[in-house]
Amino acid sequence: MKKYSIEIKWGIIFALMSLIWMILERITGLHDTHIDQHATYTNFVAIPSIAIYVLGLLEKRKTFYGGKMTYGQGFITGLIITGVITLLTPLTMWLTLAFITPDFLENARIYAVEAGKMDQEAAEGYFSQGNYMIQSIVGAPIMGILTSAIVAIFTRKK
């Protein structure tokens, strides 16, 4: 387990950042008053997300690999961070939907129907806790693999 302590640490940091991001989205009204802008501004979470991967891979390179790291070592490190994030995703989604912003899905359903983006039935299916859990659990590894592949290019060092 000690071999992967850096990856576990950065996966937990990522999960905490995700919760803080949700709090910020709620505070700024992106989950109610400005829900029409949510789809745009939520994408900015990519900035701290990528930064966490970069910092995690740089720490692994410095402390575990003695300042040198191949692309493959960096990519594997990123994949392990992604695994931790994926395992924590159901918990972070539950905390988000149960405590941070319990009205978000209902607000999103109402907005989607009133804005003519979906009919009621489609909105109820899409903006459900089950669907959001599935999207998150599937999305975390996809985005994590992609991020790991790119960040490993920039953090390798011979």
Counting every residue written for the chain, the total comes to 158
pLDDT at 53: 98
Give the tens place of pLDDT for each residue, 58-69: 999 999 999 999
Query: pTM for the complete prediction?
Result: 0.96
Measured in Å, how far apart are the chain's first and last C-alpha atoms? Answer: 26
User: What digits encode the pLDDT tens for the residues 125-151?
Assistant: 999 999 999 999 999 999 999 999 999
Q: What does the pLDDT look like over 74-128, one tens digit per residue?
A: 999 999 999 999 999 999 999 999 999 999 999 999 999 999 999 999 999 999 9
| pLDDT tens digits, one per residue of 3-18 | 999 999 999 999 999 9
